[in-house]
Amino acid sequence: MRTLFIGALSCLLLGAGATATAGGAAATASSAATNPGETPADRDGLYFPSATTQTEADEYTRYELLAPETASFKITYEVTATTAGARYFYNPIRKGSIASDESVYDAHLGTPLHFEVVSGSAARRDPLMPDADDATEYIRITLAAPVPQHGQARLLIVKTYKDPKSYHRDGNALVFERPLGIRRNKVVLPAGYEVVGLTVPAQLLTEKDGRIAVSFLHAGAGEAPLEVRAVKDAQTGAAAAPQTPTAERSWESPFQGETEEERLSERAHQDREIVYFLQQPETHAFSLYHDYTETRPGVNGYANVVRTGSVASRPSATNLDTGATLAVREMTGAELAASKLNVGEPVPPDAHVVVIPFAPVGAGQSLRLRIAETYTAPVSYRLAGNELVFDRSLGRPRNAVVLPSGWYCTASAAPATVSRLPDGRVRLDYWDDRPEAVDVLLKARRRIAADRP
């Protein structure tokens, strides 16, 4: 997740016994420094930032390169407004680009939204945009409703840019050269072109119409220095269309690998994100929240299968599009089948399942959910001597682990980026751009001094 914190932030914590909601909590706790009566469970609860200026999350951009002689490309930009109470969202028009054919949609309802192009000085009159640039124009979007207190507003922005500096010819090759600050991106080549140069590690995929695409996650700080070079010698039309991926699994894997279909799915566009908040290791417990978007028409429930060896407790769920709390039911897979809920996939009859029913998703619509719960898993999470050990396979493209208060990281087998929450806890982000799960082996030790944010 890339959230832009332009202004002041306030901490929102959920203790292990509190009920989680989408960006908020049934009860708010202060940091340990200001509330000595807090328990370790309070200090190690879920954390959601809240902001007084425009913030955004879950950004993904799809670039479709038009014929190179036009120097133009179509942009489809997915973004989520996250500042509670916001009535507008401002999308900057990149300097040096000429924008046209703009349209904006509410991703939840699938309906068009009103927008207008305004100057930076006009944008700055909005209290949520104090740092708007005078030299930049913005697309100001009127949201379908103010961002709910415990929710979000998901947007789909479509536009075409003409930018000869970013997109041009070099001899017989086309060049798309553009530093990208958005961390999840896809670039689709014109029909008949193949990739011959690429500066950022990426998946190479084929669209249904045969066009070649590159897709990547950029986990590091700063912009991704993307340059794509392509030449026109690839097949077109029906001859370029991809074969349907199979359910066959990799024979090279030392264990049962992913199917071909799973391995060739676009990792950057997958919308599941999970954050683990480790409690003190003696408890073997960790809280988590898991964000997920449902797009399949007719689906009216989500089933979270509890992993073998773990015990789930205190489940809660929120509709992030409205901020409403949803009912949660625990049952077996057999009971789920008997309930006639459509969760979109089969569940083993003997599985322990946390189920969230909701109104059926309509055609052209979608639903963003946040599921929160606490797990106890002595095998995955334990204290070994004086060392905390978290050993767990994480299957999402975007995963994060927050250490308990008072601990610092001494080892992480998988590469991670590291940041610190305002309350002093350390967060490690594991962005996995490979088709297999990332096996996280994380170790930590106690600090010698009290937490200092």
Residue 82 has which token pair?
């996250």
Q: What is the mean predicted confidence (pLDDT) over 216-223?
A: 90
Q: How far apart are CA 131 and CA 121, in angstroms?
A: 10
Q: What is the pLDDT of residue 452?
A: 47
Q: What is the mean predicted confidence (pLDDT) over 23-46?
A: 52
Q: What is the pLDDT of residue 65?
A: 98
CA-based nearest residue to 356, from 14, 344, 12: 344
CB 360 within 8 A of CB 342: yes
Q: Is the pLDDT of residue 109 over 70?
A: yes
Q: What is the pLDDT of residue 437?
A: 85
Q: Is the pLDDT of residue 433 over 90?
A: no
Q: What is the pLDDT of residue 256?
A: 63
Q: Which residue has the higher pLDDT, 34 or 284?
A: 284
Q: What is the mean predicted confidence (pLDDT) over 376-403?
A: 93
Q: What is the pLDDT of residue 15?
A: 38
Q: pLDDT grade, residue 35 (50/70/90)? A: low
Residue 60 has which token pair?
């993904």
Q: pLDDT grade, residue 434 (50/70/90)? A: confident
The distance in angstroms from the start CA to the end CA of the chain is 22
Q: Is the pLDDT of residue 31 over 60?
A: no
Q: What is the mean predicted confidence (pLDDT) over 6-13?
A: 34
Q: Is the pLDDT of residue 398 over 50?
A: yes
Q: What is the pLDDT of residue 152?
A: 95
The beta-carbon contacts of 241-250 under 8 Å, at least 24 apart in sequence, are: 241/206, 241/208, 241/209, 241/210, 242/206, 242/207, 242/208, 242/210
Share of the chain above pLDDT 70, in %: 88
Q: What is the mean predicted confidence (pLDDT) over 169-193?
A: 96
Q: How far apart are CA 176 and CA 167, in angstroms?
A: 5
Q: Which residue has the higher pLDDT, 129 or 38?
A: 129
Q: What is the pLDDT of residue 33?
A: 38
Q: What is the 3-state secondary structure (H, E, C) of 148-208?
A: CCCCCEEEEEEEEEECCCCEEEECCEEEEEEEECCCEEEEECCCCCEEEEECCCCEEEECC
**Single-letter amino acid, residue 400:** A
DSSP, collapsed to helix, strand or coil, labels residue 70 as: helix
- For 240-276, the pLDDT digits (tens) are 998 888 877 765 555 566 788 888 888 888 888 999 9
Which sequence spans correspond to the domains of the chain? 72-157, 164-266, 270-446
Q: What is the mean predicted confidence (pLDDT) over 213-222?
A: 92
Q: What is the pLDDT of residue 36?
A: 52
Q: Partners of 367 in the beta sheet? A: 294
**Single-letter amino acid, residue 336:** L
Q: What is the mean predicted confidence (pLDDT) over 413-427?
A: 93
CB 139 within 8 A of CB 115: yes
Q: What is the mean predicted confidence (pLDDT) over 354-373?
A: 94
**Alpha carbon of residue 99 to chain centroid:** 27
Q: Which range scores top for mean pLDDT: 14-23, 84-93, 299-308? A: 84-93
Q: How far apart are CA 382 and CA 388, in angstroms?
A: 6
Which residues, in sequence order, are CB contacts of 154 under 8 Å at separation 6+? 58, 78, 79, 80, 81, 106, 107, 108, 321, 366, 368
Q: What is the mean pLDDT of the chain?
A: 87
Q: Is the pLDDT of residue 10 over 50?
A: no
CATH of 270-446, one of 1.10.1740, 2.60.40, 3.30.450, 1.10.287: 2.60.40
Q: What is the pLDDT of residue 74?
A: 98
Q: Is the pLDDT of residue 88 over 90?
A: yes
CA-based nearest residue to 45, from 423, 428, 439, 437: 423
The mean-pLDDT minimum among 159-173, 246-260, 370-384, 424-438 falls in 246-260
Q: What is the mean predicted confidence (pLDDT) over 172-183?
A: 95
